[in-house]
Amino acid sequence: MDYWLSYIDEDLDQMVEIAKHAESVGFRGLALADHVVVPRRYGSIHPSGGPTPFDHRTDFPDPLVSAATVLASTTTLEVMTYVYVLPMREPFSVASQVATLDRLSGGRFRFGVGAGWLTEEIAMLGHPVRGRGRRMDEMLEIIRRFWTEDEVAYHGEFFDIEPSGISPKPSRPVPIWVGGKSEAALDRAVRHEGWLGMNYDVDEVNGLLDSLSSRLDARRAAGKPVPEDYQVFVIANAEPSEALFADLAGRGVTATMGQAWGYQDRSCASVDAKKRAMDAFAARFIR
């Protein structure tokens, strides 16, 4: 099983050095969060169901700019958006930016996407909140076609595109990993190359994995092959242990977050403290 390092709400000035160290000790990649503008007050409920762990003062550097910087500073480390809120964008610049990242990084960018939960943010950026899942599905179809076709025309519920093209194209279609635990999100994940779960209690993780597995079986039964490298990523709310990770791997999980330090653990605020925590995690689980 692969281990990713979360770099969320941490010192931006340390990101490149921490990414280089993550690469050196064996982490698969760096996971970057996405928010553009966080309202001071909002009624949306965080997917964890608990209190929102951040506010309008929390650092959320642009994930695609951050990904470009990290990928240019490393040689094997991968970077994924965890997750990029697709419905608060339009498909044209996204298709171009992701294709460019893929080409310049030698195929090391992983495109994790989600419908978003902070609806006030989506509305503030000028995009419809209602129907954002359907809008996201249209965007994913358009983006994929821009990556593989010279000329794309599209006429849907949300987008009406006359014949157009985007270049350069990625070296191959970039893997799309879909986040979320709703029925619609799981269905969407099965249509693409992977599922990105968040942090859930172990019983919920097991139920979600069963649900995902049945959907993948249905896809195969319908004559639609599942990619050999299909990604199943989830975090279990439990103390990291060899037994926990072995159980997840046995249930088909291909990757999880290597939580070298806890979210907002300011005892690891310094570069040296982060490196020590990464070394300890890698020595126990990766190597």
Q: Collect the ranges in the chain with pLDDT lower than 70.
A: none
pLDDT for 32: 98
Nearest CA to 278 out of 23, 108, 68 is that of 23
Q: Which residue stretches of 3-118 are H helix?
A: 15-25, 63-73, 91-105
Domains of the chain and any CATH numbers: 2-174+258-286 (3.20.20.30)
The closest of 170, 183, 36 to 110, measured between CA atoms, is 170
Burial 170-189 (b: 16+ CB within 10 A, else e): beeebbbbbbbbeeebbbbb
Q: Which two structure tokens, joined as six digits, stand for 246?
A: 């072995």
CB neighbours of 104 closer than 8 A, spacing ≥ 6?
68, 71, 72
Cα separation, 69 vs 67, whole angstroms:
5
Q: How far apart are CA 213 and CA 204, in angstroms?
A: 14
Tell me how far the alpha carbon of residue 228 is from its chain's centroid: 19
- pLDDT for res 164: 98
**What tens digit of pLDDT does each residue of 171-195 get?**
988 999 999 999 999 999 999 999 9
| Overall size of the chain counted in residues | 287
At 51 the pLDDT is 81
Contact 174, 99 (CB under 8 A): yes
Short-list 215, 180, 221, CA closest to 84: 180
Q: Is the Cα torsion angle 202, 205, 211, 212 positive or negative in sign?
A: negative
Q: Under 8 Å CB-to-CB from 81, ≥6 apart: which residues?
A: 31, 32, 34, 63, 64, 67, 110, 111, 112, 113
